[in-house]
Amino acid sequence: MRRLLTLRLAEAAVVLVGVLTITFFIARLSGDPVHLLAGSEATAADIESLRKAYGFDQPLLVQYARFLADVVQGRLGESLRYRQPALDLVIERLPATVQLAAAALAVSVASGIPLGVFAATRPHSLWDHGSMVLALIGQTVPAFWLGIMLILLFPLRLGWFYTSGYGTLGHLVLPAITLGVFHTARLARLTRGAMLDVLTRDYVRTAKAKGLTYWTVVRHHALRNSLLPLLSILGIEVGTLMGGSVVTETIFAWPGIGRLAVESVYARDYPVVQAVVLAAAVTFILSHLAVDVLYGVVDPRIRYD
């Protein structure tokens, strides 16, 4: 296990440097933030003064080297828009995004896995085809359209839940469904495929021959052995939910890091954009590391020593 952790941490360091490098240079392709900061009535001297104050007058490679040195020391710069440390802004918004991602993941797991098992235990039946059509619809519906339709139906027509905001369970329901539907559909399809493969294995037939009930075989033998490929997907899903909540947070005015990222891109607030991307990358890496550890828990045959 120690060897695995060392290897994963070394890989994580390389990935983070790559992500930060790409983010640094792409963010600067969006334009010069000094003109936005100075305003339309600023003189050339004012703009030049601001550029020097923020270090934008230095060559790009010098800015990049200084940026990496600051990151190593735990400093991600100060927001050009809010005049606060960028890391503090991300940490302040992070709980809202974590809450939304956790709720969406719960929706996906609670509905996607049972739907996949339901379809796999009735292969090629009307129920199977109907479940997969439902999953396909869930994967093809855009989140922005689904979010708007849910707002029109529930808060505006029925008076249920809220159109926007944050703080109660009623605020969380519609954003969690909007964000979780796509992942529910993908999880259902993957669960069905994994279950169909496992249900044809010899040990499943042996379990049936011993006289175990069908659902006991499904629950204790088939589903458990189908979890390994699903764990890999769930690790990716966690990172995707954290980094892919931009549209949902914008539709429902959810105060998370996705909405903060959108606002910061429009304002060319480089430090905040970089801090949000770093937070998303770290989430991806940690979720993959957790999946590697869980492999050994689900399947005791897997050893890393």
Q: What is the pLDDT of residues 4-61, one digit of tens each?
A: 778 878 888 898 899 989 988 988 887 777 877 777 777 888 888 888 888 888 888 9
Element (H, E) at 214: helix 214-217
Per-residue pLDDT band at 301 (split at 50, 70, 90): low
The pLDDT of residue 149 is: 94
Please tell me the pTM assigned to this model.
0.82
Q: Which residue has the higher pLDDT, 56 or 148?
A: 148
CA–CA distance, 255 with 249 (Å, rounded to integer):
7
CA–CA distance, 105 with 278 (Å, rounded to integer):
21
Q: What percent of the chain has pLDDT over 90?
A: 20
The pLDDT of residue 21 is: 92
The pLDDT of residue 294 is: 76
The pLDDT of residue 284 is: 83
SS percent in the chain: helix, strand, coil, step 5: 75, 0, 20
HSE-up of residue 77 (Cα within 13 Å, Cβ side): 24
Angle between helices 86-120 and 270-298 (to 10 degrees): 40
List pLDDT tens digits, range 257-290.
Answer: 988 988 888 888 888 998 998 888 888 888 887 8
Q: Is the pLDDT of residue 304 over 70?
A: no
**CA distance readout (Å), 181 to 154, 157, 216, 279:** 16, 21, 29, 24
The pLDDT of residue 104 is: 93
Q: Is the pLDDT of residue 299 over 70?
A: no
Q: Is the pLDDT of residue 88 over 80?
A: yes
Per-residue pLDDT band at 305 (split at 50, 70, 90): low
Q: Which of 85, 67, 84, 57 is nearest to 27 (CA)?
A: 67
CA–CA distance, 233 with 238 (Å, rounded to integer):
9
The pLDDT of residue 107 is: 92
Per-residue pLDDT band at 96 (split at 50, 70, 90): very high
CA–CA distance, 137 with 297 (Å, rounded to integer):
34
The pLDDT of residue 224 is: 80
For the chain, the average pLDDT equals 85
Q: Is the pLDDT of residue 137 over 80?
A: yes
Per-residue pLDDT band at 291 (split at 50, 70, 90): confident
Mean pLDDT of 125-137: 88
CA–CA distance, 71 with 63 (Å, rounded to integer):
12
CA–CA distance, 116 with 229 (Å, rounded to integer):
13
